[in-house]
């Protein structure tokens, strides 16, 4: 039954009693996240996961169906741009480019041309999956002590972020241009028009954007112009939701790139202004140079894929992203458990899945970094035999507490324990076009509003803080994710595409923003669709929970699993429990129709409703839509 049939019971002011009254599984599925109402504060212990962007409430969303194509992304204006490009005959990559340019304007806290991205692209005609790496790179003059203070200790996170020091070479435009040359159908220039028109004519600031500005207002003001007057009122407060905002400087930048290609960004006046902004920061200058910009190169890498539950081939990004590896590791370890019988939103499920996360994150912290600089045992980390051995460490009676990394096949040399904060602010989009091509794209400028350095209408990233702040660990071992010139920092972004393992048919596209918890959000949705038979919207709605490289298990505050039964049950098994605000932003699209042979797609839950189904996270302001 579609989620829209049910009505979630809003919580009372205590935040729990209304939610715990939802007892049936069908209602749990339909209302799976936090209830309506004002955002709640985190109660994380020191050092545990904190969301990179503030929460903006919970809005129940119905699944979307369409017959020709499907677009799911973080803002309705951006989704509309993508849908319109598809209606004009554009490909999935064309729609992704148009959509990302609009997100740069309407969701500037999360992503933009001053940052980077990873794209999984399925070329239906060639029956080939490609992984495009548009991750930022460290400047050529960067050194392992980049984030070491004068006292010899690592800088504090915000001390490193705000200013020029944290800015890496942006990669998203160069990568998207290459993807367009290979897979685009409409002219490059046409893909910038929706964002240019919105920049010049103005758009209404969304509630989420206004809340994000309010949270960062003091930091924005401290960095001065032009960001201060663009985002803030004269009294220093955030511009309100509904206010009309124009960005003629961004329109001019986009016109230049539309006419001159990515070279207009990486060379000439725009590049000079970027470098000047970074290097001339009054208190925290960076090392980015014109040579770094002109010399930036995208990468086309080999995707990582594993079979899950026999029928499904799940594919993700390889290193330098840890997202694909860690999602596949988690799924591989969970093969041992009958999650269908456990059911969603139960104590056993939260325990077993969190234990698998622990083991996967422990490996992630030790081994994953830029494979062009360090040896990353990617095949070994997702090796089925290795994961079966790791899964045997999971006891259903007691948590393992703080996990220890394993020794996968292919390990070379000793590795040090990483200390990167991993708090990227990101955005995700999922697109399937009428020809069956698909894009799963996650883009980022790292922390909310990036480095807070605004140039020609867009914000610059602070992606260099995704590196470890120390070059070696306490034992003196070199950390794989240490800063090195030209290196790409490790990421948690996990754009994912799912195929039929037997036929190779495209089944679905999924991904999320959310820092290091991206891995948990994406995995949760896959479990929902595969193990529990949920449609894409229901799977996205499911409560968020998880664990990383410590003894703490975080559950989504105010959600259907935030109950005394589950909290006390976890504690009885040795977990330290944290009630956390998880601001996931999952966006997914699945094939929902019938194949030529009359069989339904593996993820089809209502084949008569439309060939494609899409879902958007109720915890953010995104939407899903396609052409009828």
HSE of 250 in the Cβ direction (CA atoms, 13 Å)? Answer: 32
The reported pLDDT for the residue numbered 52 is: 58
* CA–CA distance, 333 with 358 (Å, rounded to integer): 11
* CA–CA distance, 35 with 312 (Å, rounded to integer): 32
CB atoms closer than 10 angstroms to residue 486: 17
- Residues 549-558 pLDDT 10s: 999 999 999 9
The reported pLDDT for the residue numbered 414 is: 65
Q: Token pair of 316, please?
A: 């993700």
pLDDT band at 38 (very low <50, low <70, confident <90, very high): very low
- Residues 84-128 pLDDT 10s: 999 999 999 999 999 999 999 999 999 999 999 999 999 999 999
- Confirm whether 503 is a catalytic residue: no
Q: How far apart, in Å, are the Cα atoms of 430 and each of 37, 70, 81?
A: 28, 8, 13
Q: What is the CA radius of gyration of the chain?
A: 22
pLDDT band at 511 (very low <50, low <70, confident <90, very high): very high
Q: Which residues pair with 270 in a beta bridge?
A: none
The reported pLDDT for the residue numbered 531 is: 98
The pTM of the full predicted model, rounded to 2 decimals, is 0.91
The reported pLDDT for the residue numbered 352 is: 98
Q: Which of 64, 55, 63 is nearest to 36 (CA)?
A: 55
* CA–CA distance, 7 with 218 (Å, rounded to integer): 39
Cα angle 305, 308, 314 (rounded to 5 degrees) comes to: 35
Q: Which of 55, 52, 249 is nearest to 157 (CA)?
A: 52
User: In this structure, is the dihedral angle defined by the CA atoms of residues 526, 527, 529 and 535, taken in order, positive or negative?
Assistant: negative
pLDDT band at 1 (very low <50, low <70, confident <90, very high): very low
Helix (H) or strand (E) holding 117: strand 116-123
The reported pLDDT for the residue numbered 253 is: 98
Q: Which residues, other chains included, contact 166 with Cβ-Cβ below 8 Å and sequence gap of 6+?
A: 160, 286, 446, 451, 461, 462, 463, 464, 465
CB 577 within 8 A of CB 563: no
For the cut 70, the answer to whether the pLDDT of residue 47 exceeds it is: no
Burial profile 549-563: b = 16 or more Cβ within 10 angstroms, e = fewer: bbebbbbbbbbbbbb
* CA–CA distance, 556 with 580 (Å, rounded to integer): 5
* CA–CA distance, 427 with 494 (Å, rounded to integer): 11
Helix (H) or strand (E) holding 449: none
Mean per-residue pLDDT over the chain, rounded? 90
The reported pLDDT for the residue numbered 447 is: 87
Phi, psi of 497 (to 5 degrees): -130, 135
Find the helix packing angle between 248-260 and 92-106, rounded to 10°.
Answer: 150
CB 614 within 8 A of CB 626: yes
For the cut 50, the answer to whether the pLDDT of residue 539 exceeds it is: yes
The reported pLDDT for the residue numbered 350 is: 98
Active-site hit among 326, 426, 496, 522: 426
- Residues 368-396 pLDDT 10s: 999 999 999 999 999 999 999 999 999 99
Domain boundaries of the chain, sorted by first residue: 34-58+71-202+246-628
* CA–CA distance, 367 with 509 (Å, rounded to integer): 27
Of 68-72, 88-92, 143-147, 531-535, the range with the lowest mean pLDDT is: 143-147
Cα angle 331, 337, 338 (rounded to 5 degrees) comes to: 110
The shares of helix, strand and coil residues in the chain, as percent rounded to the nearest 5, are: 35, 20, 50
Helix (H) or strand (E) holding 70: strand 70-73
CB atoms closer than 10 angstroms to residue 285: 15
- Residues 436-486 pLDDT 10s: 999 999 999 988 999 999 999 999 999 999 999 999 988 889 999 999 999
pLDDT band at 415 (very low <50, low <70, confident <90, very high): confident
* CA–CA distance, 26 with 275 (Å, rounded to integer): 54
Q: Which residues pair with 238 in a beta bridge?
A: 232
* CA–CA distance, 601 with 432 (Å, rounded to integer): 14
Helix (H) or strand (E) holding 315: strand 312-316
- Residues 276-309 pLDDT 10s: 999 999 999 999 999 999 999 999 999 999 999 9
């Amino acid at each position: 039954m579609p989620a829209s049939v049910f009505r979630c019971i809003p919580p009372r002011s205590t935040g729990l009693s209304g939610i715990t009254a939802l007892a049936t599984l069908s209602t749990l599925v339909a209302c799976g996240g936090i209830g309506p109402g004002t955002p709640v504060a985190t109660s994380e212990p020191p050092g545990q996961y904190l969301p990179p962007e503030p929460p903006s409430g919970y809005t129940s969303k119905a699944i979307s169906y369409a017959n020709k194509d499907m677009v799911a992304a973080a803002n309705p204006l951006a989704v509309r741009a993508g849908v319109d490009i598809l209606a004009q005959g554009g490909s999935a990559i064309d729609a992704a480019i148009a959509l990302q340019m609009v997100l740069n304007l309407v969701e500037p806290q999360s992503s933009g041309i001053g940052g980077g991205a990873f794209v999984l692209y399925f070329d239906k005609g060639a029956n080939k999956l490609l992984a495009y790496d548009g991750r930022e790179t460290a400047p050529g003059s960067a050194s392992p002590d980049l984030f070491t203070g004068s006292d010899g200790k690592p800088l504090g996170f915000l001390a490193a972020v705000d200013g020029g020091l944290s800015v890496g070479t942006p990669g998203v435009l160069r990568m998207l241009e290459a993807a367009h040359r290979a897979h685009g159908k409409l002219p490059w220039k046409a893909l910038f028009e929706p964002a240019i028109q919105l920049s010049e004519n103005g758009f209404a600031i969304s509630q989420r954007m206004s809340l994000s500005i309010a949270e960062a207002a003091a930091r924005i003001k401290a960095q001065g112009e032009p960001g201060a007057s663009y985002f803030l009122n004269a009294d220093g407060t955030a511009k309100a939701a509904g206010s009309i905002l124009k960005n003629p400087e961004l329109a001019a930048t986009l016109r230049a790139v539309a006419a001159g290609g990515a070279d207009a960004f990486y060379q000439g006046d725009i590049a000079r202004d970027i470098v000047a902004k970074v290097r001339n920061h009054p208190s925290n200058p960076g090392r980015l140079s014109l040579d770094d910009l002109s010399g930036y190169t995208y990468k086309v890498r080999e995707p990582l894929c594993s079979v899950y539950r026999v029928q499904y081939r799940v594919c993700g990004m390889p290193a330098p992203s840890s997202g694909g590896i860690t999602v596949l590791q988690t799924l591989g370890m969970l093969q041992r458990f009958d999650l269908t019988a456990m059911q969603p939103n139960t104590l056993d499920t939260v325990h077993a899945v969190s234990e698998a996360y622990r083991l996967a994150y422990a490996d992630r912290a030790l081994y994953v970094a830029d494979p062009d600089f360090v040896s990353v045992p990617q095949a070994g980390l997702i090796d089925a035999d290795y994961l079966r051995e790791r899964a045997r460490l999971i006891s259903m009676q007691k948590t393992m507490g703080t996990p220890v990394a394993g020794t996968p096949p292919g390990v070379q040399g000793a590795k040090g324990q990483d200390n990167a904060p991993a708090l990227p602010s990101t955005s995700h989009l999922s697109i399937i076009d009428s020809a069956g091509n698909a894009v799963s794209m996650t883009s980022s400028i790292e922390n909310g509003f990036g480095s807070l350095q605004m140039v020609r209408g867009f914000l610059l990233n602070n992606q260099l803080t995704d590196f470890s702040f120390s070059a070696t660990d306490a034992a003196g071992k070199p950390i794989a994710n240490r800063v090195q010139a030209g290196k790409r920092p490790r990421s948690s972004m996990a754009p994912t595409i799912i195929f039929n393992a037997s036929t190779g048919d495209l089944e679905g596209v999924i991904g999320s923003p959310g820092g290091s918890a991206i891995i948990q959000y994406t995995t949760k949705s896959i479990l929902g669709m595969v193990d529990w038979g949920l449609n894409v919207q229901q799977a996205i709605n499911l409560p968020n929970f998880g664990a990383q490289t410590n003894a703490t298990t975080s559950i989504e505050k105010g959600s259907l699993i935030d109950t005394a039964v589950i909290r006390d049950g976890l504690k009885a098994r040795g977990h330290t429990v944290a009630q956390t605000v998880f601001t996931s932003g999952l966006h997914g699209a699945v094939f929902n129709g019938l194949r030529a042979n009359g069989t339904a797609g593996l993820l089809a839950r209502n084949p008569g409703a439309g060939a494609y189904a899409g879902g958007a996270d109720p915890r953010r302001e995104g939407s899903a839509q396609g052409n009828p």
